[in-house]
Amino acid sequence: MNSALGMSTSPPSTPSQATSSSKGRPITVLLVDDQATMNEAIQCLLATENDITYHYCSTADQALTMAIEVAPTVILQDLIMPGADGMALVKQFRTQAATQDVPIIMFSTNDDPQTKAEAFAVGVNDYLVKLPDRIELLARIRYHSQAYLNRQAHTAALVVQEQAQELEQILQELRRTQAQLIQTEKLSSLGQMLAGIAHEINNPVNFIFGNLTYIENYVSDLMRLVHAYQGCYPEPGDEIQTLLEDMDYEFLTQDLEKILASTRLGVERIIQIILSLRNFSRQDQAEMRLSNLHEGIDSTLLILGHRIKQGIEIIKQYGELPPIECYPAQLNQVFMNILNNAIDALEENSTLANPQDSAPTGCGKQIFIQTQRQDENRVEVRIRDTGVGIPADILDQLFTPFFTTKPVGKGTGLGLSICQQIIKNHQGSLQVVSQPGQGTEFIIQLLIEH
């Protein structure tokens, strides 16, 4: 067997050679034939073609192994060889991944049309009668090799394109994961800070709240004592009368009760804020638990109280919802991001959509929060604002990581992308409905039980 016999003679001046050289793509030929004279003849025909590498195999048993080794761009094969069936060898070539697409030119002394038809049926690409003309052989070798190389290049381009798309998807996923980790870390830090503040405030507030009861009782006792003295001594002395007038005793007794009542309301409000901070900042991402959605929404609204100015009206339309199985802190983050965006839309735009039928007459800047039970295992939360809405070309990109329409420094483009991921993690759905001039509505659907 002669293998890797490369031709190195001077370049010919034939048109076919000039065409191939301009392509600059090498051709590798493998001849499988038991006759040494056939090898010598083909080698002689290809000797002047310096862009063709020639290999020879004399037995069918070794043909497949050699073809995998030298990676031919075209195979020249004899139809009949001792101890082997040329048709069976073609079938072997076609069953191997390395050779299944390599063009095969069959050589034979048999010019019978039926034999040719059988050869083409098993996978032969061309059929020539021994010994072919040099010009015809070169033309067919170049034609089939070029077609094969073009197919390989196209396939390689498709593979590269698919790999590039996969890499881009992986990159986007990495960026999304990194962004979510950053936001999760921020939320965790915020939660720890709020929990610490709530704990520090809670102790003195409880002390004040507990003492208020005693103060109210003591003041009530003192007032009863004063009234008893007034009953026993309806005509006080001049000094006491002057003192009563100076302190405006009647106003003092009335206002003292109001002060104590308002102080109690203030302390109760602080306690409510502390409970809301604790509810919002619960560090419970490790496992799901039953949670009241309305408490989460109310806590988020309380945190955003400094942003909800007099010009913005919050309209809550709560339905009857059971506790749902969820990560409460994560859902609070979703409510926070969506409500923040709604407030931004109402603050930054002066032109407002007309309120819908459910809105009170004469109201402009409004945020509607509606909850309802959809079916036995699904609830729905709708958050709608009366802003100017979102253009259609932006709507499709709303959940794309790092996409934002806000000025530099005011938005990272991560909020809604993370919201969508959180809702997906809850096996729910997050949709947005908006038209220019009609406001924007986010629709969240969540499972009650997982």
Which CA distances in Å does 157 have to 71, 152, 163, 167, 288?
19, 8, 10, 15, 46
pTM reported for the whole predicted model:
0.45
Burial class (CB in 10 A: 0-12, 13-18, 19+), 394: exposed
Predicted confidence at residue 315, as pLDDT, reads 94
Residue found under tokens 């109201």: 363
67 in Cβ contact with 95 (< 8 Å): no
SS3 406: coil
Q: Tokens standing for 77?
A: 């094969």
43 in Cβ contact with 5 (< 8 Å): yes
Predicted confidence at residue 180, as pLDDT, reads 67
For residues 407 and 405, give the distance between their C-alpha atoms in angstroms, rounded to a whole number. 7
Predicted confidence at residue 392, as pLDDT, reads 81
Which CA distances in Å does 258 have to 213, 261, 424?
14, 5, 51
User: Which of 249, 251, 212 is CA-nearest to residue 229?
Assistant: 249
User: Which of 389, 373, 371, 393 is CA-nearest to residue 381?
Assistant: 371
User: Which of 419, 353, 407 is CA-nearest to residue 381?
Assistant: 419
For residues 394 and 183, give the distance between their C-alpha atoms in angstroms, rounded to a whole number. 23
26 in Cβ contact with 6 (< 8 Å): no
Predicted confidence at residue 368, as pLDDT, reads 96
For residues 148 and 152, give the distance between their C-alpha atoms in angstroms, rounded to a whole number. 6
Q: Looking at domain 5-132, which of 3.30.110.60, 3.10.450.50, 3.40.50.300, 3.40.50.2300 is its CATH number?
A: 3.40.50.2300
DSSP 272-309: HHHHHHHHHT---TTS-EEE-HHHHHHHHHHHGGGTS-
Q: Looking at domain 285-450, which of 3.30.565.10, 3.30.413.10, 2.40.50.420, 3.40.50.460 is its CATH number?
A: 3.30.565.10
User: Which of 84, 88, 90, 115 is CA-nearest to residue 104?
Assistant: 90
| Domain residue ranges in the chain | 5-132, 285-450
Predicted confidence at residue 21, as pLDDT, reads 38
Mean pLDDT by 10 residues, the chain (450 residues): 37 38 70 88 87 88 88 89 80 88 89 87 88 88 90 87 88 77 65 72 84 88 86 82 83 85 81 68 65 90 78 92 90 88 79 44 77 94 91 79 63 72 90 88 94
